[in-house]
Structure 1
Amino acid sequence: MTTDLGFDCSCCGRHHDELPLGYGTFAPAYWHDGLAGKSDSILGDEQCMIDGEHFFIRARLILPTLDAGDDFEWGVWVSLSEPNFARVTELWDKPERVQEAPYFGWLATELPTYEPTTLNLKTNLHSQPVGVRPTVELEPTDHPLAVEQRTGITRARVRTIAELLLHPTQ
């Protein structure tokens, strides 16, 4: 049995020493450079507001990995209503936030490798202990991402994702 956690890449032919178990995005899909500097649009590490009327929280969408020791995580953004965003913000540094019911939201990240798009999939955002990003539970539909969240993925699927993201122009 091998303990090598890397993989031989079918795109570049090289051995990569590690198979990444997560990827994330810098901003919600709706953010663009023209919003930077606007007083009603703010992009932070964990929260985002666009035009004072669209509100987003950074979160983790976890896919169980069936034949690896750890789960795979997509770093995503979820759009929340203004009242839910205000509530999340109010409880941001409070331990009791873990007692909150999930917040309904819409996935605001377009993840590669999925057809149809992952934008606007229905979600529930689950608060975690202070210092830990919330987790995303997708509505149980037949969308490939929702199916993978329910049933899990294999190391081979993680490799396919890695090859696409490590070599996007090939």
Structure 2
Amino acid sequence: MCFGAAFPEYYFSIPPEERDDRVELTESLCVVDETHFFIRGRVEIPIIDSDELFCWNVWVSVSEDNFRRTNEVWNDPQRVNEPAYFGWLQTQLPGYADTLNIKTMVHTQAVGVIPRIEIEEGHNLAEEQQAGITWQRVTELVEIAMHE
């Protein structure tokens, strides 16, 4: 039960014929024009009365310093001790009002585990992340995501 985006939204502002020259992209990291830095992470939403999670794989823009730090500790087992990084959500999620540029915190996880993205208050996505969602809402989100 995990859906998401292969690219940060900003990627689509680059003309397709220029992307090879202007975009560096891996599964988890993206740099555009050597000035815009993105990390892929996961928004986990608890499902009420269940041990399961509904997840969105998303991209978050971070500062150049935090992006460089992410790269420095990428394979370091101690990276779990990193403080959270501030970022801006760069993925439009189906089933929600505009999710672009929502404030987030990026929580580094163990080596090999995608960072956990915490949505800052003020958006219904943050409310769902904190309070959880019903199975009915899961079904609604899955149907919307499958038809995007």
Shorter-normalised TM-score: what interval?
Answer: over 0.9
Per-residue CA shift, 1:131-157, capped at 9, x if unaligned? 00000111122x111111111111100
Matched-pair contact (CA < 8 Å) for 1:47–1:56: yes
Name the structure 2 match of 1:53: 35
SS for the counterpart of 2:10 is: coil
* Structure 2 equivalent of residue 129 of structure 1: 110
Give the aligned length: 145
2:45 matches 1:63:
yes
The structural deviation recorded for 1:66 is 0.7
SS at match of 1:31: helix
- The 8 Å contact of residues 68 and 155 in structure 1, kept in 2 or not, is answered as no
**How does 1:4-153 map onto structure 2 within 5 Å?**
21-32=1-12, 33-38=16-21, 40-115=22-97, 117-141=98-122, 143-153=123-133
2-side partners of 1:149 and 1:75: how far apart?
14
SS at match of 2:78: helix
1:157: which partner in 2? 137
Task: Say yes or no: does 1:167 pair with 2:142.
Answer: no
TM-align CA RMSD: 1.2
Shift of 1:35: 4.1
Q: Which has the larger radius of gyration?
A: 1
Give me the identity figure in percent: 45
| Secondary structure in 1 matching 2:20 | coil
- Retained in 2: the 8 A contact 1:35–1:50? no
d(CA) in 2 for partners of 1:99, 1:167: 39
Q: What is the rounded CA distance, in whole Å, between the counterparts of 1:76 and 1:87 in structure 2?
A: 19
Distance 1:35 1:54 in 2: 15
Q: Which has the higher helix share?
A: 2
Task: Give the structure 2 partner of residue 18 of structure 1.
Answer: none
| Matched-pair contact (CA < 8 Å) for 1:67–1:155 | no
Q: CA deviation at 1:37?
A: 1.1
Structure 1 segments unaligned to the other structure (5+ residues): 1-20
Query: What SS does the aligned partner of 2:39 have?
Result: strand
> Could you report, residue by residue, the CA deviation over 1:76-124 in whole angstroms, capped at 9, with x for unpaired residues?
0010000000000110000111101100110011101111x10000011
